[in-house]
Structure 1
């Protein structure tokens, strides 16, 4: 299944209705990066948000995710 990259928060939230798989996660990360850019946010802003303690991920998982988000930021045009 091909998931489009979300272009707004509503499309990103709609992904919650889909079964979780690697492709869905990649699409969600790409969507978060693109939405942050359209909102004028920086990679530092986004990284700080990912690294903030949310109760969902432990510190190591947040660092791992921030690395993936940074890679997506630098890869996606």
Structure 2
């Protein structure tokens, strides 16, 4: 992978400077999972955050992303 897994929210925000591709998205998801686990949160808490309404993703996209996050959670 071309991108290291971020260790902090700041490092995730720094990824915005890179062109978006599959590896960047994978690194961002892995970083979020790493940070959430370090904070003692559960997959259920993270999933609830992903599924919460926002202005970026529609409901179907949030459901898809929550499934991807759950698969990544089990893999990491």
Q: TM-score, with normalisation over the residues of structure 1?
A: 0.95
CA offsets per residue over residues 18-48 of structure 1, 9 Å max, x none? 1111100000000000000001111011000
Q: Secondary structure at the match of 2:40?
A: coil
Residue 62 of structure 2 corresponds to residue 65 of structure 1: no
Extract unaligned runs of 5+ from structure 1. Answer: none
Q: Equivalent residue for 1:29? A: 29
Q: TM-score, with normalisation over the residues of structure 2?
A: 0.96
Extract unaligned runs of 5+ from structure 2. Answer: none
Q: Equivalent residue for 2:5? A: 5
Cα distance in 2 for partners of 1:57, 1:63 equals 10
Q: How many residue pairs are counted as aligned between the two chains?
A: 76
